[in-house]
Chain A
Amino acid sequence: MAEAGRRRGPTGKPRYSILALARNALSYHENWQAAWRSPEPKPSYDAIVVGGGGHGLATAYYLASVHGIRNVAVLEKGWIGGGNTGRNTTIIRSNYLWDESAAIYEHALKLWEGLSQELNFNLMFSQRGVITLAHSEHELKEMRRRVEAIRLNGIDTEVLSTADVKKLVPIINTDQGIRHPVMGGFIQRRGGTARHDAVAWGYARAADDLGVDIIQNCEVTGFLKDGNGAIEGVETSRGTIRSKRIGCVAAGHSAVLADLAGFKLPIQARPLQALVSEPIKPVIDTVVMSNAVHMYISQSDKGELVLGAGTDSYNSYAQRGSLNIIEHQLAAACELYPIVSRLRVLRTWGGIVDTCPDASPIVSRTPVDGLYFNCGWGTGGFKATPGSGHVFADLMARDRPNPVAAPFTLERFKGGYLIDEHGAAGVAH
């Protein structure tokens, strides 16, 4: 895919580089070219992607760069990256239990490793390691088993003792007398974080460069089908747009789109909240998650502590959750990291995640010919963004199951071939 990185699109954008930075400094950074155009929608396209989050933009980019399908529109009801892409806590890892999940998340992680170069956009991808804590003897034993399974799939992961954890995370409280003592954990050193907005912007800029139309403020409100029930186009808030190949990548709103298309998804929309503290000096240079206390922590480059939690229990599209989740998460944070107790919370927010019964995604054809869905990533899809877009573009371009994505069909719920990742994904991201 190295050649996909070459700039040869119709817009002929100049590359970002240190020289470009210096040149633009001379004009007080007032003459930077727009990163993408804002074209009027055309009456028809070879392919349409509904949803301008990271996954949708990546899909469009790979349709253009890998499959040569460049007459593509991304339709976004708000602004690109304004959904979960811009709301998540940016944890990236591939240490999932089952072979199917390992394959798709590791595919994504390998793409992350070269993505800033390929897109010519600094995604601030930082492989600072991701630690998952064990708080009981049982959890530790289960973790050992998980680590062996993950290693058999060729994915880097190591068991940590309490002392190892303390060495990597000096601010952690390893007192064995606390309610949920740290009894060890495991780490994926290739895991880490990336700048979430940059992922949307980087893919958008690169896709635009290859001719993809990124159309914001354009909500899909219905689907058009031909006499045989195959897809023909979409109704949108900016008029009818036709295409015989449409992929929906709408995260929390996937069920709403499936309703419009006339079928059901095994998906429930739930709020997932996160918060950041006021910025402080660097105190933690890795990511630490804990499934038992539903809390995880990292530090942004600006110095804010980024804290995540589990989902709210109820269905919602309101992009907000309940205060008790935040109370619970902060209680856990204060016990595990006592130095945070006097920090102020800077802001909290929520996103709507598309949870699936087996905590695994759906990357699939649908009962409507020509209509594909990529959803169900729930609480943990940011890490999958490049891989998800890559395999979904392949499915859309060739209309046959992509080898990596094949297990993630909608049909699995009927056949019973669930890929139960609750242990790896239920709380953690």
Chain B
Amino acid sequence: MLGLDKKDTSLLIIVAILTLLAPFILNPFPTGSAMAQFNAGYPDLMQRFVIFGIFAIGFNILFGLTGYLSFGHAAFLGVGSYSAVWMFKLLSYNVIPAIALSVVVAALFSLLIGYVSLRRSGIYFSILTLAFAQMSFALAYSVLSNPKFNLTNGETGLQVYADDPQIFHRDSLPDMPHLFGLSMRSTYKLDIGAWSFDFNAGYYLCAVIMMVMFYLAIRIFRSPFGMMLRAVKSNQQRMNYTGLNPRPYTLAAFVISGMYAGLAGGLMAAMDPLAGAERMQWTASGEVVLMTILGGAGTLIGPVLGAGFIKYFENIFSKINDNILHQWFSFLPDGIEDFMVFIVHPFIGKGWHLTLGILFMLVVIFLPGGLVEGGQRLGKWIRNRGKGATDAKTKQEPAE
């Protein structure tokens, strides 16, 4: 279907079902129950899942296929956000021109940075991209924000003001980002018994775009171009002596992943019409690296899983506080309860980065292939167990 083989088609269908049903799947606990804090089905968080999913899918086209590790991709994300907000300021709150411009500007920007950075490989490439991203951050934070020429609005961040031109804005349209009149914030609440589910327009726009971008990524992975990118990672020497020029291949991959990042940045602004320089900081670049590696670099679904995993735990762990801990451990004798809270305390709230770090280390050490490898091992284990119990004769399994 759609030019994909059976396996890829089923993967795409599974992803489509999961994203479309996410408001149900992510809200398994009744509202008001003690477990409700583990629910993730509210619009803001669901939007972040798919937007960072897009970011990571694009990053994986560069890092997963060619092995070039960029530490500067947040720059493209930030550029995308700024472009989108400018479109809101100048034209109107319609998200289509905003998203389109964010992709185009990110493409141009990544072409420039990629052209220079790809003159080196390995660690030098990573450092060059990092340097560029930090320069972009400095530009956005201060240089391009002065009274004469204010492109980024510095520390405050770029936002839409009442006296902005917004030449296509009409009074009938919502005063916030919208898709031809449909506000990105409009949410339909469905209450079933004790449960409550949110269906948010912004989330569904991002989800549909993510599915399209995921589909494109599959096509790229399976194409001759994708094969060349894997060849770049495997042996550039052989490529050179086979009449192939690795440079334009890596540059194309860099620009494509930059466009994915720009799209993600544009969508962020479309959900919340604000762009700040902190979006370009190196920590943001590092985050997408973590997502990709955690999920499984070079696999199709890995980056999406990694993005979801990190954003979920960021949200849940950072919300847990000492009161909640005391509730959890209340079954223990007082002294031990306090002790447990004392032990767990550094890993929650603001300390959730510590938890993330530990999870990341565990995955990298025990599952170098990321969550995808974990899933594969689990699947194999279950299948083998099932087989061993029912049919001892068919021991020979085709190698995978």
Q: Are A and B subunits of one complex?
A: no
Could you list which residues of chain A lie within 8 angstroms of chain B, going by C-beta atoms? none
Could you list which residues of chain B lie within 8 angstroms of chain A, going by C-beta atoms? none
